[in-house]
Amino acid sequence: MNRKYRLSTALDVDDLLMECVPYAIRLANDKYKFDPPLTIREVDRWGKLGTRADVIFDFFNDPEFYKNQPVIEGAKEFVHRLCQMTEVFVSTSVYPQFMSLRAMRIMEEFPEIPSDHIYMGSRKDKIDVDILFDDGLHNIFGSNAAYPILMRRPWNTEATGVLAVNNYDEFLKLVEVIADSYSVRPERLDLDTPGIIVLVGPTGSNKNEITEKLVERCDSVERLVSYTTAKQTHENDRFHHVGVREFHKMCDNGEMFEITNYANHYYGSRKSDVEDILKRGKHVITVMDICGAMAMKTNFPNVITVYVGKDKKSLVSAVIERKGSTDEKVKRILAIENEKRNEEICDFSVKDVSVDEAVDKLLRFISPDC
C-alpha cells in the first residue's frame, strides 16, 4: 500500500456499537405491553413517524437508558480488529446532559480507543477522517470523509448508491478493499475456476445487457438469480419474485447473505444458490450494488468486482427513458455521482464501451475458449 500513514476511521455509537433502537423497543414492549409487540421493522424512517413506535423517543431522555445500553454482540471484537487496521475515533451525537455518561461507557467497554479520540456532537462533517461508519443517512450524506460508509438498518434502507454494509465483517472487508485501492493495480486480473464476477455501476450502464451477452457467449458462466419483493415486470423478470413475508422468513433463517432495499422493495441473494453454481464447476456472474459486492467478497473467495460506467449524459438519459415513477427516477439520477465513486474500490473498470467490447474484456478473466 503506497501510503505513509494509517487510515483513520470514525465510528458512530448508537446502533453501531451499542444498542439504541432495539433496546428502546424492548423497554417499550415491557412498559406498554404492546400486542402484537413493537418490532424494529416498524422504525422504517428516522424520527417520529406518527405511529406507536414514537414512544421509543421517551427513553432517550432518561439517564438510565445511557447507563444500561447493551453493547452489540461482536462489537468489542470488531473494534479490536479495526484498531489493528486503522486509527479509530468515536464520533457520537448525544444530548449534552448525557455526554459524560456516554464517554464513560465508551471508555469502559472499548478501552482500546484512546479517550482523546472520543468526539461528542452532531456535526460529524467537522471530523477529519478517511472513513466514517454510521447508520444515520444525514451523517453519511453530509460527511467530508473520503469514504462515508452506511451500516444498513431498517430506517435507512432506501439509501441508493452510497457505500453500505450489513454487518461488521462486511465493513472490515471494505476497509481492506479501500486500503488495497491505494496500491498500484495490475492491468488485468485472473479468475480462478470456479470464481465470481460482480458487476457494479449506476442505472443505465448496461450491466444487465453485458451479463446476458456474457452468459450467451460462454457456457462456463451462469447468472445468479436473486430474489425480490417487487412485482414482476418486463424490466425485472431476472429475479425470483416472493412476498414480503417469505422474504423476511428467508432473512430470519439466515438464507440471505446480502439484502438491500430499493424503491420500497427488498432484494437479496441466497448463499446456497451461489454455492450450487460453483459446485457445478461454473463461474458466477451477478449484478449488485456496492453493498452486495462487499457481502459477496466477505462470504466467498475468488471474487472480482467490476465497475461498469458510462458518461453522465448517457446515464441520465437512460434513467429518464426507463419505466417507473418520477420519484424513483430522481433517486437514480441523484445516485449517479455516489455510484461513480465506487469505481475506486472495484478491482477492474469497464467504461464507455459497447456491450460487446465490455464482454470481450470480461472474457479475459474467464476462458480463452469462449
- Let me know if residue 186 belongs to a domain: no
pLDDT at 235: 59
Query: 243 and 353 share a domain?
Result: yes
Query: 210 and 176 share a domain?
Result: no
Instruction: Write down the mean pLDDT value for the chain.
Output: 87
Asked if 179 and 250 count as a contact pair (C-beta separation under 8 A), the reply is no
Among 111, 110, 92, which residue's Cα sits nearest to residue 102? 92
Query: 144 and 205 share a domain?
Result: no
In the listed set 128, 148, 180, which residue is the last one of a domain according to the structure? 180
Q: Where in the sequence is the domain holding 211, given as residue range(s)?
A: 196-366
Instruction: Provide, for the chain, the percentages of residues in helix, strand and coil under a 3-state DSSP scheme, each rounded to the nearest 5.
Output: 45, 20, 35
Mean pLDDT per 10-residue interval, the chain, length 370 residues:
70 97 96 94 85 94 96 98 96 94 97 95 90 93 90 83 86 89 60 86 88 91 92 72 90 86 81 94 91 88 89 74 72 71 85 90 72
Indicate the number of domains in the chain. 2
pLDDT at 369: 58
Query: 75 and 202 share a domain?
Result: no
In the listed set 148, 180, 212, which residue is the last one of a domain according to the structure? 180
Query: 47 and 75 share a domain?
Result: yes
Query: 215 and 138 share a domain?
Result: no
- Domain CATH for 335: 3.40.50.300
- Cα–Cα distances (Å) from 202 to 82, 230, 331, in that order, read 30, 19, 11
pLDDT at 280: 93
Query: 297 and 156 share a domain?
Result: no
pTM of the model: 0.79
* pLDDT tens profile 283-341: 999 998 888 888 898 899 889 899 998 877 777 776 677 777 777 777 777 666 777 77
Asked if 202 and 316 count as a contact pair (C-beta separation under 8 A), the reply is no
Asked if 352 and 310 count as a contact pair (C-beta separation under 8 A), the reply is yes
Biggest CA–CA distance in the chain, Å, is 68
In the listed set 180, 206, 222, which residue is the last one of a domain according to the structure? 180
Query: 170 and 201 share a domain?
Result: no
- Domain CATH for 135: 3.40.50.1000
- Let me know if residue 185 belongs to a domain: no
Query: 82 and 146 share a domain?
Result: yes
pLDDT at 92: 95
- Let me know if residue 340 belongs to a domain: yes
Query: 360 and 218 share a domain?
Result: yes
Query: 236 and 320 share a domain?
Result: yes
Whose cell is 424492548? That residue is 26
Asked if 102 and 65 count as a contact pair (C-beta separation under 8 A), the reply is no
pLDDT at 363: 85
